[in-house]
Each structure stands twice: as C-alpha cells, then as structure tokens.
Amino acid sequence: MGVTGHREQVLVTRRLTPGTLDRLTARHRVELHDSDTVMPRDLLLRAVRGKAAALTTLDDRVDEEFLAAAGPGLRIVANHAVGLHNIDREACAARGVQVTNTPGVLTESTADLTMALLLGAARRIGEGERTVRSGTPWNWAPDFLLGLELSGARLGILGMGAIGRAVARRAHGFGLRIGYHNRTPLPEEQSAGAPWRPLEQLLAESTLLVVSCPLTGQTRGLLGARRLALLPAGAVLVSITAGVVDEDALAAALGSGALLAAAVDHHTREPAVNQALLAQERALLTPHLGSATTHTRRAMGALAVDNVLAALDGRRPPSAA
C-alpha cells in the first residue's frame, strides 16, 4: 500500500484537457505520452514498466502482456472512459490491480449526441449537408430527402443503463413511444417509464433503435443480419457502442433499402471506419464524439485522476467497480 506523500510513478497514455493532470503531477512522478494519438504498443509496454498506476484510454489494450510489462508494482489502471472493453479485468484482478472507469460524468453529453444522431439519421441531415456542400443542384420538392417523423414513433433502447435512461428522458420530450431491452428487466423506477421487451420483440417493434449497451462477451456481434432483418421496414438505427452491431450487415441493410438510415459514432475498428458503411449515403458517421464536450472531458479527466490518487493513497477509488 502506498505511503501518503510518497511520490509514485504514473503513466498517462494520452494528452488530457489542460490542467487535468496538475493534481497528479503535484503529488507523483508522471510520465505523459504528450500526444493526441494512440501510444504505439512497443512504447506503451516499455513506458508502463515499474509504474504504480496507469491512466489509459480505450485505445490501450490492458492484457497479460501489458500487466507483465508493468511488473508487480502496478496497483491501478484508471481508464479514461466509461467502457472497459480494452481491459482484461480478470487478468487485472488476478494480479490485484484495481480497474476504474469514468461513469456518470459522460451520461448527459453522450445522450445529447445520441439524440443528435437520432434526429440526424431520421431527418437525413448528413445527406442534406453533403448535397448543399458539394454544389449538387437541388430545390425544395415535396418528396425531397424525406425522413422519419419522431413524434409518435416507437423507439427501442437496447441497453437501458445510465446513458439509455438519459436518452429515454430526452426521447419522451419528442413524443416517442419507448421500449427497452436489457438482459434483466429493471425495477420500474429505473426504466424511465419504458416497458421491457424480449430482444426480438423489441427489434420487431422499433422504428427507431438506439444501441447503447456495453460491449461484452455477450453483446459482441449481437445484431447481425438475422436480427437486423427483424426491424420494421424503413427503420433507423443509431449505434453508440462499437462491436455490438455487425457493421457489414448494417451496410447491407442500408444498401437493400430495408433500413431508411443509420448513424454510428463508435466504430468497431477505430479509427478505421467500415468501408461498406462509408459507401452508404444514408449512414451518418461521426468520429466517436459521444462524450466530446469540454465540460464532460474535464470531468472524465478529473475523475480518472481522483481514481489514481485514491488508489495510490490506499483509499477506495471513487469509481471502483
């Protein structure tokens, strides 16, 4: 256990918002990968050696190799994300390494972005903007770029966690009729007034679908061609979780006209974007902007720093799982 006041070695794998690391550098010896790009693997494995803490992002794979490179002094991996799919949690637990994420602070910003994507895809904002910007001749016409009206439509939320609930709260304001699916139905007071549905029923009922469940062994590839085909004709799908929707199958469903439109913010092989999706005009594709507000990114950084400081002081980190 760390002695309060002792300066420990900490690795931070990405440049954070200005000032975020001040409380950490005041107390500990911080090695910062001072860059906006992913730390190359060989550099990461060298840099983590002998560290007591690592503040990581979703792009840093924390596995046996990483833990072995770090050595026995590593006490915490503080992920700068709500997701933890880059981290082998069992391997960390086996070595007594704590793992933390940044829940809560990014809920509202991510729900805002999800609504933006829902509106953007349903109203074909990407296509419209590209039409204007490309100089393609256009004029108002009764059937020009017709989209899907939200008011009165059925919205399915696959993954009614904190973000799903925040989306549901917003969606009520747009007059959407909401249902959700989680592995286990939630107590009524936690379901934002939405009824639970079995997955396949939810898909069959949802003209709009938001995919907001975490990526786990159970959810990886959950929505492939067969399940996507259950959505009503002309449905709109929004995905804010990488790896749950099969991107090739989604592109095929757009290409065949089975779906009206889709939006994807978090991509399976980031920063690469699925080529088949790129070829679809009706795919609204954003570069992982879910939590990208100044307010939220500061809060995520502050929470990740709080988690590191607590672990190095021998206290329970605020977002210990």
Residues that bind ligand GLV (CB under 6 A): 58, 81-83, 106, 290-291
Instruction: Specify the residue, 58 or 222, whose C-beta has the smaller distance to ligand GLV.
Output: 58
Please report the sign of the dihedral spanned by the C-alpha atoms of residue 276, residue 281, residue 287, residue 292: negative
Smallest gap, in angstroms, from Cβ of residue 263 to ligand GLV? 15
Instruction: Specify the residue, 81 or 92, whose C-beta has the smaller distance to ligand GLV.
Output: 81
Instruction: Specify the residue, 201 or 216, whose C-beta has the smaller distance to ligand GLV.
Output: 216
The residues pairing with 16 across neighbouring beta strands, listed in sequence order, are none
Instruction: Specify the residue, 79 or 206, whose C-beta has the smaller distance to ligand GLV.
Output: 79
Smallest gap, in angstroms, from Cβ of residue 62 to ligand GLV? 14
Angle (CA) 302-166-117 rounded to 5° is 95
The closest residue (CB) to ligand GLV is 83
- Distance from CA of residue 153 to its chain's centroid? 25
Smallest gap, in angstroms, from Cβ of residue 287 to ligand GLV? 11
Q: Name the token pair of 290.
A: 């879910």
> Which DSSP letter does residue 256 get?
T
Instruction: Specify the residue, 104 or 255, whose C-beta has the smaller distance to ligand GLV.
Output: 104
Smallest gap, in angstroms, from Cβ of residue 113 to ligand GLV? 10
Q: What phi and psi values does residue 95 have, to the nearest 5 degrees?
A: -100, 5
Smallest gap, in angstroms, from Cβ of residue 230 to ligand GLV? 27
Instruction: Specify the residue, 39 or 163, whose C-beta has the smaller distance to ligand GLV.
Output: 163
Residues in the chain: 321
Smallest gap, in angstroms, from Cβ of residue 58 to ligand GLV? 6
CA distance 267 to 241: 7
Q: What phi and psi values does residue 310 have, to the nearest 5 degrees?
A: -65, -50
CA distance 144 to 265: 26
Tell me how crowded residue 131 is: count the other CB atoms within 10 A of its CB: 16
Q: With beta carbons less than 8 A apart as the criterion, state whether 99 and 109 touch.
A: no
105: closest CA among 310, 267, 253, 305?
A: 305
CA distance 283 to 239: 11
CA distance 168 to 264: 18
Smallest gap, in angstroms, from Cβ of residue 125 to ligand GLV? 22
Smallest gap, in angstroms, from Cβ of residue 83 to ligand GLV? 3
Instruction: Specify the residue, 56 or 207, whose C-beta has the smaller distance to ligand GLV.
Output: 56
CA distance 232 to 253: 11
305: closest CA among 32, 3, 6, 1?
A: 32
Residues with Cβ within 8 Å of residue 138, at least 6 apart in sequence: 131, 132, 144
Instruction: Specify the residue, 175 or 271, whose C-beta has the smaller distance to ligand GLV.
Output: 271
Smallest gap, in angstroms, from Cβ of residue 70 to ligand GLV? 22
Instruction: Specify the residue, 98 or 101, whose C-beta has the smaller distance to ligand GLV.
Output: 101
